[in-house]
Structure 1
Amino acid sequence: MVAENTGNTPSRPLPPSPEKLEWGSDAVAWTLRSLPIDFIALNPGASYRGLHDSLVNVLEDTAPEMLVCLHEEHAVAMAHGYAKVTGRPMAVALHSNVGLMHGSMAIYNAWCDRAPMLILGATGPVDANLRRPWIDWIHTSQDQAALIRPFIKWDNQPASVEAAVESILRGWQATIRRPQGPVYICLDVSLQEKALDKPLSLPDPSRFAPGEPPVPSAGKLDTAAQMIRAARNPVILAGRVSRDSADWAKRVKLAERLGATVMTDLKIAAAFPTDHPLHPLPPAFRLDSAAVHLISEADLIISLDWLDLGGTLYTVWPDGKPSAKIIHASLDDYGMNGWAMNHQRMAPVDLALDGTPESTVDGLLERMESTAAVNTQSSYQRPPLPSQTGVFDLLALATTLASTLENRDVSYLRLPLGWPSSTSTFRHPLDYLGYDGGAGIGSGPGMVIGSALALRGSSRLPVAVLGDGDLMMGANALWTAARHKIPVLIIVANNRAYYNDVAHQETVAINRSRDVENKWVGQRLDDPAIDLASIARAQGFQAEGPILDEESFRTALKKAITAVENGQPALLDVVVKAGYMSGVVDFNSDSHSDGNK
């Protein structure tokens, strides 16, 4: 899963010798140092004051380095964004039950997006006799992890220092095993502040590394190869796949060897070059009529952990009986539970390959070696770029951005719902990092700063396009980027409304024969307009706005790019006409506001 050459690979000092560990939290810090954890994001809290002291005075705020956040939700979101680039977990520290409740939305996003992270929580003394009056009581809860257990992979509340060391090692194993996801370990404040009366017998962390993920059986892969040879019009749905460029090249090789048309999804990270002749349709958040037609004509569909395969197939074949044969390579069902419905609709599949998409691609390339290269031009016509409307809208913003950035090595860290993706070209796994997983608005600022952290020191220009609602829900995450010198360019597509909800209200009004003009009531972020640039400048960003036209945007964009290339974070508040391109969003099938707010 690791995306190579991000530029953020600091050398790691050795863990301190056991004789230097004096307190329980020192042992926790020792374990963090022994694992490849570069950062720990936190909002300071007294429930883990012991651990905080150990991070500062035993580890000297290095490996992991503390990232100070102004809200727990941003701390979790930063770890999520970091994992999107590196495939590796960051650590997060949350202050007792109250910090966990603050961070829970971001944890759900990470769970839905299969993002690894090691979350260290804390609680007041479990032993009631040790609790300080008032504050320790309201910061102590029984079975604290019950708050988030439906959307984490594993949790533990160790009762001894030795058990805490083992718990962190087990949590590390669990979070990086596929399918990945967050884990939670709750550390009693008394355990952290327990004095050690003798040196601990500490384990060798290298002996607790997880094994390789399972691969499909040889027999199943043989069957898949036979199905492919019999197909005349195969389609590959490239979903949640490895970010490694070598795996990217193998996917291209497989598609070319099979002559298979490829589709990708804008909800998840780039998985295939979008300008390749076998990738005729731009990635989208939902299927449009062209995508439905393309899939309906396939006689074989190869799903590489496609997000919501069942929903896709039922959209194309409403009776749930696809005319195409379906091969599905995924381990996602191994992470399924009965509370979170993010496993999506059950898909009718002819051949299930229990393994990673990468192991499936490797196995198919081995079996298809004798097949001569076939037509590498899809039979589907690439749609033309949409026509400009003559007003400064999301399309004008996107085309201006694309033309200004075309000669740079760009990573799009986030793009909003309604984005005209035909204006963007992705040719590398880091060119686009996907959406937020759980559609929990407010994640954008923290997540893109975490991704930019992972890219710091690389040749890539980190760029994010956020909605104004998303930015305002998480605006104080910006300070962490300035504080820790994380260069990132954030462009706010500001329609001064919770526009996705506006469109929903329009749909309801039409369905009920009511006044469509009332759709704006309770939705506008105006009168007064929010000064987004001032909010950013107050936290250390170079910022400009409101920007009202294309030429002003182009001028401000060039200035902001220079600032980011010089190591500064920058934000542009760009006011755009509210609206989506036709066919981008179906408001009869969506629920909570998840769009370009």
Structure 2
Amino acid sequence: MTEIDRPEPSGHETLYGSDALAEMLRSLGVPFVALNPGSSFRGLHDSLVNHLGNRDPQILLCLHEEHAVAIAHGWAKVTGKPLAVILHANVGLMHAAMALYNAWCDRVPMLVLGATGPVDAAKRRPWIDWLHTSRDQGAIVRPYVKWDDQPASLEASLSAMMRAARITATAPMAPTYVCFDVTVQEAPLDAMPVLPAPDRHAPARFPEVAAADVATLLDMLRAAERPVFLMGRMSREQADWDRRVALAEHFGARVVTDIKTAAAFPPQHPLHAGVPGYFPSPGAKQAMEEADLIVSFDFVDPAGTMGPGDRKVALVSLDPLLQNGWSLDHQALPPSDLNLLADPDAVVAALCASAGVGAPEATIPAPDRSPDPAPDRPIPIPALADALADAAGEDVTWLRVPLSWDGAKCGWRGPMDYLGYDGGAGIASGPGMSVGAALALNGSGRLPLAVLGDGDFVMGATAIWTAARHDVPLLIVVANNRSYFNDEVHQERVARDRGRPVANKHVGQAIADPDIDIAALARAQGAVGLGPAMTAGEVPALLADAVAQARAGCVVVADIRVASGYSEEMSEGMTEG
């Protein structure tokens, strides 16, 4: 990436307000800034190129504002750190709104910058500046960003950037948004102002977990005969992973995880209850029904997951600090006998230290293989999972899996093995998030592998152009059932409930006639496009080729035609009610 978009030296002498904004962005340490160009921040764009030389940060040109946010989202899922995004005025912010909602629901950090036409109406160009100016631009996304500001001066703008960077990186994390006036960007300066110093604005630190709280939770665990841990939004650190496993082994606690969040505990561990899913599996439900204590470690929707029952409940999460009256992503209110406003991994570490918990001991087996599929038929999802595991080998980060994924195939053995879904269930997020995660993994030796649905991929396909342009290795496998199948399941449920023909469920859902050439769509973005593999017999050779080219440094998209179907609990969870 070092040779891409390296500008000619400018030799400029006059300084502008946007030069100071660019210097501030550099001082915050963000390596990249994802953007789709726009006139409202033309001054800042010029400063990134001609004042900073397009390095530290380097521009990631995106073909849509939604992709820019999704790329920063994927980066944060790997690193836990914010990337910078710049959005063009109100129009770009509206384009990006869905991706920002995903990032909010997924609790990831992101430094989002925007711009508005001149607030002073006398300075607006006819027509276009009026269209790109709004009275309170942050109102568009305020319910699902952590903090926003529209400063009116350069000094206030620099201070707002510092504040936004610190707020977004403080748990519980979520995007922040700062909107710059065009006039502030384009005003000449006599000298570079003094910038707020990051080392004089220390990140906020939470207090240590209280010993009394640790003692109370330990007493509850020691008294429990059938404890269950719900492991949710946890860190990507190996030491934290090892402590979580060791703590469960020490107390003999059953563990429930899901596919919505990143890997937090090995699903093949003997203590894992059922299999991960978007909704609880029968094994997970049984463990929770039999539990006399449930401890939720920042689990998404603990109330809906636990269901009713007479047992003690302990909640460990910082999430209440973000809950508001507009977004209902906080889910139903769970009951609790102990409610700790604390980082879940910090509590796990404190419990392990206090109880003398050592290293994990269990051997983690690989997932069982499915029966060999019929070679002349589209491949079922469980068999695709087996074929991918065979082809990909070791050191793989599964960036994403589709709604139809079989939880029994989740063979995660470490915190970087799986990164989870998108937070807000917003279709079109998969390609951009995959690019951002692959960028963060570049040079790590791990293969970034995303399995996306065809609807998700087609909506966001142009995001992969950014990966191709910057030579970021990535493998996307499209599990292509040629349908918005999730909605077919809903239409089937409605038809059955109303006594109407189930055979019509595909109408207005099937992505066919004409068929979409997904491999050609990938090639149009500069990626390697392979397939379609129409039958299970064609899949192994195609995947071997795809993995080899991705490991060699290419962006690869493989089109695999899969058999349609969901697990019973997935179908029930999506449609009941």
TM-score bracket for this pair, using the shorter chain length:
over 0.9
Please name the residue that 2:46 is paired with. Answer: 53
SS in 2 for 1:249: helix
State the alpha-carbon separation in 2 of the partners of residues 384 and 565 from structure 1.
26
TM-superposed CA distance for 1:374, in Å, is 11
SS in 2 for 1:586: helix
TM-superposed CA distance for 1:242, in Å, is 1.1
TM-superposed CA distance for 1:589, in Å, is 4.0
Contact 1:446-1:474 within 8 A present in 2 as well = yes
Contact 2:105-2:423 within 8 A present in 1 as well = yes
Please name the residue that 1:293 is paired with. Answer: 286
1:284 maps to which of 266, 271, 277: 277
SS in 2 for 1:198: coil
Q: Pairwise mapping of residues 377-396 of structure 1 onto structure 2 (< 5 A)?
A: 387=371, 390=374, 391=377, 392-396=379-383
Q: Pairwise mapping of residues 68-217 of structure 1 onto structure 2 (< 5 A)?
A: 68-217=61-210
State the alpha-carbon separation in 1 of the partners of residues 503 and 90 from structure 2.
44
Corresponding position: 1:30 with 2:23: yes
Corresponding position: 1:442 with 2:435: no
State the alpha-carbon separation in 2 of the partners of residues 498 and 111 from structure 1.
25
Contact 1:385-1:422 within 8 A present in 2 as well = no
Distance 1:352 1:216, change over 3 A: farther
State the alpha-carbon separation in 1 of the partners of residues 529 and 443 from structure 2.
22
Corresponding position: 1:453 with 2:444: no
Deviations 1:24-73 (A, max 9, x none): 11111111111121110000101000000110111111111100000000
State the alpha-carbon separation in 1 of the partners of residues 46 and 358 from structure 2.
63
SS in 2 for 1:343: coil
Corresponding position: 1:488 with 2:449: no
Alignment-mate amino acid for residue 537 of structure 2: E
Contact 1:278-1:377 within 8 A present in 2 as well = no
Please name the residue that 1:580 is paired with. Answer: 566
SS in 1 for 2:189: coil
Please name the residue that 1:222 is paired with. Answer: 215
Deviations 1:195-242 (A, max 9, x none): 112331223221112122344422121111111111111111111011
Distance 1:331 1:465, change over 3 A: same
What TM-score comes out, normalization by structure 1 length?
Answer: 0.91
Corresponding position: 1:464 with 2:457: no
Deviates more, 1:192-201 or 1:148-157: 192-201
Deviations 1:546-580 (A, max 9, x none): 11122321111111111111111000111112212
State the alpha-carbon separation in 1 of the partners of residues 286 and 567 from structure 2.
19
TM-superposed CA distance for 1:588, in Å, is 5.6
Please name the residue that 2:416 is paired with. Answer: 430
Please name the residue that 1:4 is paired with. Answer: none
TM-superposed CA distance for 1:449, in Å, is 0.5
SS in 2 for 1:80: helix
Deviates more, 1:299-308 or 1:272-281: 272-281
Q: Pairwise mapping of residues 229-268 of structure 1 onto structure 2 (< 5 A)?
A: 229-268=222-261
Deviations 1:159-211 (A, max 9, x none): 11111111000000110111100010000111000111233122322111212
TM-superposed CA distance for 1:365, in Å, is 1.2
Contact 2:242-2:360 within 8 A present in 1 as well = no
What TM-score comes out, normalization by structure 2 length?
Answer: 0.94
State the alpha-carbon separation in 1 of the partners of residues 397 and 359 from structure 2.
32
Deviations 1:118-172 (A, max 9, x none): 0001000001111111100101111000000000000001111111111000000
TM-superposed CA distance for 1:375, in Å, is 10
Deviations 1:375-398 (A, max 9, x none): 9699xx999665566442222211
Distance 1:511 1:588, change over 3 A: farther
Distance 1:372 1:417, change over 3 A: closer
Contact 2:89-2:133 within 8 A present in 1 as well = yes
State the alpha-carbon separation in 1 of the partners of residues 423 and 518 from structure 2.
25
Alignment-mate amino acid for residue 293 of structure 1: Q
Please name the residue that 1:366 is paired with. Answer: 353
Contact 2:238-2:415 within 8 A present in 1 as well = yes
SS in 1 for 2:188: coil
State the alpha-carbon separation in 2 of the partners of residues 130 and 290 from structure 1.
65
Contact 1:507-1:587 within 8 A present in 2 as well = no
State the alpha-carbon separation in 2 of the partners of residues 308 and 119 from structure 1.
27
Contact 2:317-2:344 within 8 A present in 1 as well = yes
TM-superposed CA distance for 1:292, in Å, is 0.7
Alignment-mate amino acid for residue 316 of structure 2: A
Corresponding position: 1:559 with 2:552: no
Corresponding position: 1:417 with 2:403: yes
State the alpha-carbon separation in 2 of the partners of residues 338 and 71 from structure 1.
30
State the alpha-carbon separation in 1 of the partners of residues 171 and 519 from structure 2.
41
TM-superposed CA distance for 1:494, in Å, is 0.6
Contact 1:486-1:567 within 8 A present in 2 as well = yes
2:329 maps to which of 342, 347, 351: 342
Alignment-mate amino acid for residue 162 of structure 1: E
State the alpha-carbon separation in 2 of the partners of residues 582 and 311 from structure 1.
17
Please name the residue that 1:352 is paired with. Answer: 339
Please name the residue that 2:60 is paired with. Answer: 67
Corresponding position: 1:532 with 2:512: no
Question: Any unmatched runs of 5+ in structure 2?
Answer: 3-11
Alignment-mate amino acid for residue 155 of structure 1: D
Question: Any unmatched runs of 5+ in structure 1?
Answer: 1-7, 10-18, 592-597
TM-superposed CA distance for 1:354, in Å, is 1.1
Corresponding position: 1:515 with 2:496: no
Contact 2:275-2:284 within 8 A present in 1 as well = no
Task: Give the number of aligned pairs.
Answer: 565
CA RMSD, Structure 1 to Structure 2 (Å): 2.2
State the alpha-carbon separation in 1 of the partners of residues 231 and 414 from structure 2.
14
State the alpha-carbon separation in 2 of the partners of residues 454 and 384 from structure 1.
31
State the alpha-carbon separation in 1 of the partners of residues 294 and 14 from structure 2.
56
Alignment-mate amino acid for residue 239 of structure 2: A
Alignment-mate amino acid for residue 225 of structure 2: R
Alignment-mate amino acid for residue 43 of structure 1: N
State the alpha-carbon separation in 1 of the partners of residues 487 and 56 from structure 2.
43
Deviations 1:449-503 (A, max 9, x none): 1000000111100000001100111111121111111110000011011111011
Please name the residue that 1:323 is paired with. Answer: 310
Overall identity of the aligned pairs, in %: 51
Distance 1:226 1:375, change over 3 A: farther
Alignment-mate amino acid for residue 422 of structure 1: A
Alignment-mate amino acid for residue 366 of structure 1: A
State the alpha-carbon separation in 2 of the partners of residues 134 and 382 from structure 1.
62
Alignment-mate amino acid for residue 346 of structure 1: L
Deviations 1:56-96 (A, max 9, x none): 11111111110000000000000000000000000000000
State the alpha-carbon separation in 2 of the partners of residues 437 and 563 from structure 1.
30
Contact 1:21-1:199 within 8 A present in 2 as well = no
State the alpha-carbon separation in 1 of the partners of residues 65 and 574 from structure 2.
34
